[in-house]
Amino acid sequence: MITVALAKGALLKDTVARFSKAGLDFSAVLDQDNRQLMVPSRCGRARALLVRNGDVPVYVAYGQAQLGVVGFDVLREHQMPVAHLVNLGFGGCRMSVAVKKSSSYGCAADLPPHCRVASKFTNCAREFFDDLDLPVELVHLTGSVELGPITGMAEAIVDLVATGRTLRDNGLVAIEDLFQSTARLIGHPLSLRLDRGDLQSIVEAVRTDKKLNNLSL
C-alpha cells in the first residue's frame, strides 16, 4: 500500500483537491468529525497520514510514507534527505525579514551587527545572514514572532509572509525576501528507486492533473 503524508493546516484542502484530480480520494481527512490520523483512500489501496507540517519530510525521509506534500519553507528549514518531485504551485508565500515600520532599516544589510532576530526558521535565517556576512543573535520562537520587535526583544524577524496583513496590523514591514515558497510533492528516495511504476504513475498524475491510468487507488 502506498502511503502519502499530508500536512494539516493551510495546505490540506488544496493538497486533497490535487490528489483527487489525480484519482486519489483522501477527502475524508477534511471531515471535521474525523479523528483518524491514518485515512485510507476510497478504494483502499493507498492511505494518507495526517501530520503536522514540519513532520511531513520526517515521515518521508524515514520511509513511513513514500510521498508527501509540504511547503518549500519546511524543506529549506529541516534539510531532510527526501526527493523533490513537483512544485505544486499553491500555498504561495515568501520568507522575509521584517522590522518595525518606524525603523530606518531599508534592507537586511542595514541591521546592526549582533542584533537579535526572532524566527521559527532559525536555520533559514542563519544561512541568510551568514551569506550577508552579518553576525546576528537568533532567538528561536514557536509562536507569534511579530511580538519580538513590538516588545523590543528583537530588532527584526524572519518569518513567512503571505498577504502581509499580520505584519501591517502589528506595525511591521517586510524589507527583504529570502526566498519564495510553494507546496512541493516529495518522495522517499529508496522507494522511488525500487518503484515498479506505481509511484511514478502517481507523481505524473499529480504533475499533470490527469487521472491515474490502470491504477485504482
Tell me the mean pLDDT in the region 81-107: 96
Give me the pLDDT at residue 214, please: 47
CA dihedral 40, 42, 46, 49 (to 10 degrees): -30
CA of residue 196 relative to chain centroid, distance:
28
Lowest mean pLDDT among 41-45, 109-113, 128-132: 41-45
CB 182 within 8 A of CB 94: no
Q: What is the pLDDT of residue 211?
A: 62
From residue 192, give the alpha-carbon distance in Å to each of 62, 65, 135, 154, 179: 13, 11, 40, 44, 28
pTM confidence score: 0.88
pLDDT, mean over the chain: 92
* Domains of the chain (ranges, CATH numbers): 2-91+182-208 (3.40.190.10), 93-179 (3.40.190.10)
| Nearest CA-CA partner of 68 in 197, 193, 215, 186 | 186
Q: What span, in angstroms and rounded, lies between the C-alpha atoms of 153 and 118? A: 8
- Positive or negative CA dihedral for 160, 164, 166, 169? positive
Share of the chain above pLDDT 70, in %: 95
More confident residue, 27 or 105: 105
Cα–Cα dist 180/5, whole Å: 22
3-30: average pLDDT: 92
For residues 175-200, average pLDDT: 95
Give dist(CA 127, CA 198) in Å, integer. Answer: 37
| Tens digits of residue pLDDT in 130-180 | 999 999 999 999 989 999 999 999 999 999 999 999 999 999 999 999 999
Instruction: Measure CA 56 to chain center.
Output: 9
E-only strand ranges, the chain: 2-7, 38-40, 46-51, 67-71, 83-87, 93-100, 116-119, 137-140, 156-161, 172-181, 183-187
- Per-residue pLDDT for 217 more than 70? no
Per the CB < 8 A criterion, the answer to whether 104 and 155 are in contact is: no
Cell of residue 159, nine digits: 518569518
